[in-house]
Structure formats: structure tokens, C-alpha cells
Amino acid sequence: MNFVVPVPANIADLEFSWQSLAGHPLPYSMELDYDVVRVPGTASGMMALLSPRVNVSAKGEVPVVLQVFRIRLPCSGLVSAEIPLALRLNVTAPPGTKYNDTILVFKRNKICLKGVETPPRNESVRLEPGPLVNGAGALYVAATCACALILVVGSVASALYIRNSKARVQESHYSAADTDGLARSSVLVRVDPRPGSANSGSYATIADLEPLYARPYGFRASYYAASHVTSLSQSTDPCEKARALSVPRSALYCRNLVQEGTFGRVYRGTLDVTGREQEVIIKTVTEVASAYQASLLVVEGSQLAGLVHANIASLAAACLDSSCPLLAYTSTQGELNLKLYLTDGNHHPVTRDLVNVGAQVARAGAFLHGRGLLHRDIAARNCLIEASTLRVRLADAALARDLFPQDYHCLGDNENRPIRWMALESLQHNQYSTATDVWSFGVFLWELATLGQQPYVEVDPFEMMACLRDGYRLAQPRPCPDELFAVMAVCWLGLSRDRPTMPQLLAYLQDFHDALGGFI
């Protein structure tokens, strides 16, 4: 409710599902306030927004069964304008209880464009305009949840998860939230896992991922520019790539320790080649590490070697002269691990910043997929961020199992895997594709929205496969806009072919980032 979300010109309806959980209907009253924006220079004083209509009465009772009501916001098409609105829903608490009457307010701005006229509709009740709630021009759509006795969910029609799942959600698990409003453990929702359904265990389909915001020039041509691939090109042997970047031990200087695990360490230091020093991050293992752990560092650390991209942290140099290999990555003084950045409490990125971070990682993922490469472990722990500029780079997963052991689990096969970030088909059949990277990217976006919380924290790692197979997914974090959660939701579709590709996600997030800059 703290976000001002624009309603684009091509969206005319706001839909809400509501239900009284008190066991009996609860009285409500509804008020719709909106600003009258008239077309200048017209004698008739025609408005940019015609009279909004609601297909329920201004007073009544919240039903005991899940139902939907709609607010229609018809534009005249005569002028371009942004119209603040406010729908207040006041719910009366049950008599004789400890609960108070409740009012919730959601913020929206209706965008009308000249030449884009909304077709008429007849199943609605006209509400007359009233004063704005706060006088500052913010759009409010209010819904109420009286002391956990009422469930009300609202969205713009293009917000995929809310719209498509409002009639499908069967049960939920809720957890407490801390004082800053961020849930400290995830909330799971269950979507319809009907056997034989084309979207079994899915929120929506890729066809629903149409542009969130009206664009005079139409949607991006690159939106449908790629498809998922499962057969990927074979890259050079990782050890060979590391040896090609080999430097003597004297060229690397480990200045200060920034992160340490059981057998792995990360230093900040310098790389001196041909007399020119450059800032680097150095990954290595300790003397207690086994030969397997040392070789795993080299293999995983060479995963992105040889790639040149602004949003990828690729291997710059390697020293393989001893039992404790050193891997160096170019860096800056202010660059941090993204997960540590999100969880340290000293940084407070706003929604537009988080969308920007997501778009940069999507750009890196699209670059990898375009070259026939998979990452297999897209997560905040495997990203670096420059705190001052918010430039983000996707890195390899070398030492991640040791440095972030809470994110990896062994299911009895002697292999630590990022279970909570893995797609259903990866858990079931050990299958990996660009679509499984997209699934992990959706969990990564959820990490951003929750500032680094642990996904599926309530679920035992051994139950993750059954949890996903039964249709459970991460629910919308409390401070996350519908539009951002819509991106996450389509990344977790049950069928891999229905998930968006990285180029599609990149186009979507770029548009959303631009829109946030224009309207919020």
C-alpha cells in the first residue's frame, strides 16, 4: 500500500477479490475519490477520465465466499493526462470482538492517452467524483482486511499472479513480519496443480506478460527475440581456461580478508601485470582444503573466464602453482557481495534501484544464453554490486557453498546444491536449460524484494521437490509492487516452455524501470 502504481492507458479495469473470513458477512462502505481533469479549450469541458464505475454498491456486506468486484476507469481519449484516484473500503469489525474497524488504502494513478478511448461497459454503478484523500495527487485504491478476518486482493489487470490466481489460491502459510514491514520468513501460496492442465502448478502463461505500460510506439521488438534451449554448446575445459590466464604468485597481493568460510577465503588485493596494478577480488582455499575442494574452486571459478561484458565478473588471472590456487577478478574498492549488501541493514535501495539491479542481472543472463552457456546458480550471493553506482555483475559460484552454507543442501547424494533456487525439473530429473536459469532468476528477484531473505525458509530441503510439485510457490513479499511480482511469478511456471526467456525478462524490467522513473 506504500507504492504509487500507474494504471496504463491500455488497462481499464482494476479487479479485487474479497472474502470475509469471520464466518459471516461484514458490513462495508465504499468511497471513490478522483480528480476531474478537463480538456482545456473545449466549451463542453469534456474530461480526460469519464466517470469511474464500480460493479458493487457503495454500501453492503463483504461476502463469505471468494468473489470479485471491478472498478472501471474509462478514458475519453480526448487528452493525455494522469488522474489520481482513491477508493476507500471501510469494513466494520464484528460486534463484541477485540477488533477495530479497518481501512486500507492502495495507491494508483490512471494514465489516459489522447486517441486511446475505453469501450463502454454497462454492468456498473456510477460514482460521483469527490475530493482526493491527501490532496497531493496520489492515486488510491483502498481495500480492507479487518483484523485478519477479511481477505482482499487487488491488482491492475496486467499484474499476472494476482489476476490469474485469485480464484485458484487454495491455501496459504503465513509468517510473522518484523517491525520494518518485511516478512522475515517467506510466505507460500498454492496454485492449482490440476493433473493434465496445460499450466499445472502455474500462475499464468507467457502470453500474459504483455507490456505493463502503454507505449506510443508499441512493445519492444526484442521481447520475443529468443527461445529456450536445452542443448548447449560445449565450452573449453575450465582448467584449460584457467591455465591460459596463469600468472606467477608474485603478481597477486592479498591485502585484506573480506569473507571466510570453512575452507575458502575471499581477499581484496591487487594484480600486477607488466608493472600496472589493478584492484581485484581474490578467491582461494586454505591449507586444510582437500584436493577436490581446490580443484572445484578452479573449475567453478573458470566458468565465466574469457567473457567480456559490463555485467559479468569473469576471471582475470589465476595462480595454479601451489595446492592453494588463487583466482583473481577485476573489481573496484566499493564493490561488495550483493547478498551481504542486501542484508547488512546499512543500505536502503528503493524499488526502482532493485528493478535496475534485476535488469542488469537479466542482461548478463541474456548474454550467457546467447552464447550457449548456462549459469545454473543465479542468486544474490553470486553477484557483486558497486554500492555507490549500483552497478551489478553476475559472478561464478566458486566458494559459494562454503561461504553461504545455509543456501546449499545435500539430499543424500553427496552433492551440495542450491535446492531453494532450483527449478522443479532440475530437482526431479536433474535437467538444466535456459528455462531453469530463468526459474533461479525469479527467486533472485524475490531475494531483491525481501532484501536478502531466505526463500522457502519454512520448507525442509528434502520436501522442496514435493512442495513445488504440489503447486506451492513463494508469495508476494509485503513491500513488493504487483508488477515486479508478476515477473517473478512467470519465472516459476510449471512447464519450462511457458517461462519467459532472459531477453524477454530484460525488456520487461527495462520498461518497468523506465516507467517507475516517469511516474513515481
Using an 8 Å Cβ cutoff, are 239 and 299 in contact? yes
Per residue in 414-458, pLDDT (tens digit) is 789 999 999 999 999 999 999 999 999 999 999 999 999 999 998
Q: How far is CA 84 from the centre of its chain?
A: 26
Higher pLDDT, 127 or 71: 71
Rounded CA Rg of the chain = 26
Using an 8 Å Cβ cutoff, are 478 and 177 in contact? yes
Is residue 511 part of the annotated active site? The answer reads no
**Mean predicted confidence (pLDDT) in 109-118:** 81
- Please tell me the least confidently modeled range out of 221-235, 260-274, 443-457: 221-235
pLDDT at 248 over 90: yes
Instruction: Give residue 45's pLDDT.
Output: 55
Which residues neighbour 242 within 8 Å (Cβ) at sequence distance 6 or greater?
Answer: 298, 301, 302, 305, 315, 318, 320, 325, 327
Distance CA 436, CA 375 (A): 10
- Band of the pLDDT at 238, cuts 50, 70, 90? low
Instruction: Give residue 184's pLDDT.
Output: 39
Distance CA 506, CA 367 (A): 11
Using an 8 Å Cβ cutoff, are 243 and 381 in contact? no
Region of 74 on the Ramachandran plot (φ > 0 left; ψ -120 to 50 alpha; else beta): beta
For 208-341, strand residue ranges (E) read: 252-260, 264-273, 276-285, 315-319, 326-330, 335-337
Distance CA 431, CA 10 (A): 39
Distance CA 361, CA 311 (A): 7
Closest by CA position to 7, among listed 85, 105, 89, 101? 85
Region of 115 on the Ramachandran plot (φ > 0 left; ψ -120 to 50 alpha; else beta): left
Catalytically annotated residue among 377, 396, 402, 482: 377
SS (H, E, C) 177-234: ECCCCCECCCCEEECCCCCCCCCCCCCCCHHHCCCCCCCCCCCCHHHHCCCCCCCCCC
Count of helices and strands (H, E) across the chain: 11, 25
- Band of the pLDDT at 236, cuts 50, 70, 90? low
Instruction: Give residue 417's pLDDT.
Output: 95
Per residue in 159-180, pLDDT (tens digit) is 322 222 222 222 333 333 333 4
Per residue in 48-79, pLDDT (tens digit) is 888 888 888 888 899 888 888 888 888 888 88
pLDDT at 198 over 50: no
Distance CA 87, CA 184 (A): 30
Using an 8 Å Cβ cutoff, are 109 and 34 in contact? no
Greatest mean pLDDT range, 92-106, 181-195, 395-409: 395-409
Higher pLDDT, 438 or 199: 438
Region of 245 on the Ramachandran plot (φ > 0 left; ψ -120 to 50 alpha; else beta): alpha
Greatest mean pLDDT range, 18-32, 125-139, 180-194, 453-467: 453-467
Higher pLDDT, 262 or 275: 262
Per residue in 286-297, pLDDT (tens digit) is 999 999 999 999
